Amino acid sequence: MKRRNFIKTGVAGAALLGMPRFATELSAMPAAGEPYMKSAPKEDAFHVGMAGYTFVKFNLDTTLAVMQRIGVKYLCIKDFHLPLDSNAEQIAAFHAKLAEKGIKGYAVGPIYMKSEQEVDRAFAYARRVGVNMIVAVPNYELLPYVEQKVKEYDIRIAIHLHGPDMKLYPDATDIWNNVKDLDPRMGMCLDIGHNLRNGQDPIADLKRYKSRVFDIHLKDVTDCTKAGRAIELGRGRIDFPKFVKMLRKVGYTGCCSLEYEKDMKDPFVGIAESIGYFRAVCDTTR
């Protein structure tokens, strides 16, 4: 169901309800002081988060203020907010600032790894930051070395795909083919927009590769080709109601983090619209 169908449904529903139904509902409302909600809606096993790259043009204070205002509590930490060489004192101050806003840093990255030294640095950084997952883009030839570090540190790797814009990990199938025989803690960050731009079906791939999907970047795009550009969730080609239903079907328990890449110098209205739309889809597909 696309955004326009939500609108049509709402308008049609209002006409069908009419005033008698409205009056009945008013009479059924609780008395003053009584709770309106008799029970809280069932929470999903997955969490809504933000990919730090969304805020590449903004400092940490702005990032956290926006996240707090839209009620998102999970952040994938980018190194422009917490540098790779941060010491213990800087990391503690960073976490304290997040805690003040009720936000948790659940992973770091994406981090590119083009040498063994960069792999070492990324794992040491993740351990100091205190997260158990790195969203990463390691060169193919480094995967055996990355696997060694995964075993040494007990930190998961979620390889980020980039669609047709890069030869390195263009889609979910490419990542699967490269990690399926490696340590089970090596998986993917399924960027659903980029996956679609490479001609793949992100919903089918979520089902197909569920055991190795550790993180998800929410993104909508205007086309299923390289020409597709980023747009607010619900305005593009991805069927989000179907996607959310698949999240529940496969029992996904990680984060679904918005990586908003439209109007990155002025993204705030688009971020709020996208998060609101995704939450509405979650609520209306239960």
Please name the residue that has the structure tokens 């597909």: 285
Residue 39 in any domain: the answer is no
- Along the 286 residues of the chain, how does pLDDT read in single tens digits? 455 554 444 434 433 334 333 333 334 444 444 443 444 457 899 999 999 999 999 999 999 999 999 999 999 999 999 999 999 999 999 999 999 999 999 999 999 999 999 999 999 999 999 999 999 999 999 999 999 999 999 999 999 999 999 999 999 999 999 999 999 999 999 999 999 999 999 999 999 999 999 999 999 999 999 999 999 999 999 999 999 999 999 999 999 999 999 999 999 999 999 999 999 999 999 8
Torsion of CA 225, 191, 42, 235, to 10 degrees: -30
Q: Residues near 18 by Cβ (< 8 Å), separated by ≥ 6?
A: none
E strand or H helix at 193: helix 192-197
- Write down the pLDDT at residue 43: 85
- Write down the pLDDT at residue 32: 47
Residue 188 in any domain: the answer is yes
Residue 275 in any domain: the answer is yes
- The residues that bridge with 188 in the sheet, in sequence order, are 159, 213
- Write down the pLDDT at residue 5: 52
Number of domains in the chain: 1
Residue-range definition of the domain harbouring residue 101? 44-284
Residue 230 in any domain: the answer is yes
Assess contact for 215 and 107: CB atoms under 8 A. Answer: yes
- The residues that bridge with 77 in the sheet, in sequence order, are 108
Residue 256 in any domain: the answer is yes
pTM reported for the whole predicted model: 0.86
**What is the rounded distance in angstroms from the CA atom of residue 95 to the CA atom of residue 223?**
38
Assess contact for 217 and 189: CB atoms under 8 A. Answer: yes
Tokens representing residue 112 in the block: 């590119």
User: Cβ-count burial of 13 within 10 angstroms (0-12 exposed, 13-18 middle, 19+ buried)?
Assistant: exposed
Residue 24 in any domain: the answer is no
Residue 259 in any domain: the answer is yes
Residue 25 in any domain: the answer is no
- Write down the pLDDT at residue 42: 72
CATH number at residue 155: 3.20.20.150
DSSP secondary structure letters along 46-115? SEEEEEGGGGTTS-HHHHHHHHHHHT--EEEEPTTTS-TT--HHHHHHHHHHHHHTT-EEEEEEEEEE-S
